[in-house]
């Protein structure tokens, strides 16, 4: 078996860091599209007109693209440990892989019952009844700067 020089790994990480920095700089050169509703409160925005008996709802599934990639890397690492004889480490990593996959996507539904947020599994699920919601708005946020990180609030 051949040996793997560690400097190859250092070069790969360096190239990845440079590529990420270049992508970030290029993305900042493109201006963000203008939102015509910026500065308007919920009362000043256009409302959906519904006839008697009609209901409206909205649903979206979202997640970070890198979480399934991370789960795939964890699964590959677990397989390597399993074949290498450390089956207990491999089993632990496979359990961690399943947890990462289970929480890699969030499904958000807004309907006549209120707001519901869940992952790929039915539990945990957060439900906010319609009676507790005063208004709703759509805006871009910086999760770390405005809320201290990602997660349910």
Sheet with 125-129, edge to edge strand ranges: 58-63, 105-111, 114-118, 125-129
Give pLDDT, residue 13: 95
Q: What would the pLDDT profile of 8-32 be if each residue is shown by its tens digit?
A: 989 999 999 999 999 999 988 988 7
Q: Are 115 and 109 in contact (CB under 8 A)?
A: yes
Domain that holds residue 102: 56-132
**Cβ–Cβ < 8 Å for 82, 125:** no
Please determine, for residue 36, whether its predicted confidence score (pLDDT) is greater than 80.
no
In a domain, 67, yes or no: yes
> Is residue 12 domain-resident?
no
Report pTM.
0.56
State pLDDT tens for residues 68-127.
899 999 999 999 998 888 888 999 999 999 988 888 888 999 998 999 999 888 888 899
Residue 35: inside a domain: no
Distance CA 78, CA 74 (A): 6
In-domain check, residue 109: yes
- What's the domain count of the chain? 1
Range name among 42-56, 59-73, 99-113 with the lowest pLDDT average: 42-56
């Amino acid at each position: 078996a051949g040996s793997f020089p560690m400097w190859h790994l250092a070069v790969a990480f360096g190239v990845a860091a440079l590529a990420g920095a270049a992508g970030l700089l290029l993305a900042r050169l493109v201006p963000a599209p203008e939102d015509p509703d910026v500065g308007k409160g919920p009362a000043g925005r256009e409302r959906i007109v519904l006839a008697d008996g009609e209901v409206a709802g909205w649903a979206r599934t979202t997640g970070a693209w890198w979480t399934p990639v991370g789960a795939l890397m964890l699964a590959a690492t677990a397989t390597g440990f399993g074949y290498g004889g450390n089956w207990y480490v491999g089993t632990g990593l496979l359990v961690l892989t399943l947890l990462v996959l289970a929480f890699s996507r969030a499904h958000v539904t807004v309907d006549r019952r209120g707001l519901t947020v869940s992952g790929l599994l039915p539990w945990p699920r957060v439900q906010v009844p319609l009676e507790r919601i005063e208004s709703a708005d759509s805006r871009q946020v910086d999760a770390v700067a405005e809320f201290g990180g990602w997660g349910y609030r």
